[in-house]
Amino acid sequence: MSRVLRPHHGMCFQFYEGKGYSEDFTDHMGRIIREMEADPSQIIKLQVETDIVCENCPNNMAGECSTADKVKRYDEEVLRACGLAEGDEISFAEFTDLVRDKIIDAGIRSDICGDCSWDYICREK
């Protein structure tokens, strides 16, 4: 069984440093990242909807993101840049490599999510 992951979270994971909306959110996100990195061969399903990371996010309003339009745009841009489609299933390792190669190393991360409230963290790295 694959785990559902929002495509833009593939970028967030690579810059995450324990900051977030609340302690509950950061603890949860840190745990998810550690679990994914502990088994990089696990299969994830890329979906443009709330996922395992969103469970503890204060923007998650009963399964709907209060910033849905913005993060949907992030998700769609990540999919497009990586040559993927919503619903694709891929290993976490392969997805991480694609995001790094096609977005971060290609220098287009800020084009995708430069208006994110956490952008300052990514810009500094």
125 residues of the chain, pLDDT tens digit each? 679 999 999 999 998 888 777 788 888 889 999 999 999 999 999 999 988 888 887 777 888 888 888 999 999 999 999 999 999 999 999 999 999 999 999 999 999 999 988 888 888 77
CA terminus-to-terminus distance, the chain: 34
Position 1 scores a pLDDT of 67
Measuring CA to CA, which residue among 82, 54, 79 is closest to residue 68? 54
Q: What are phi and psi of 117, to 5 degrees?
A: -65, -20
pLDDT given at position 104: 94
pTM of the model: 0.92
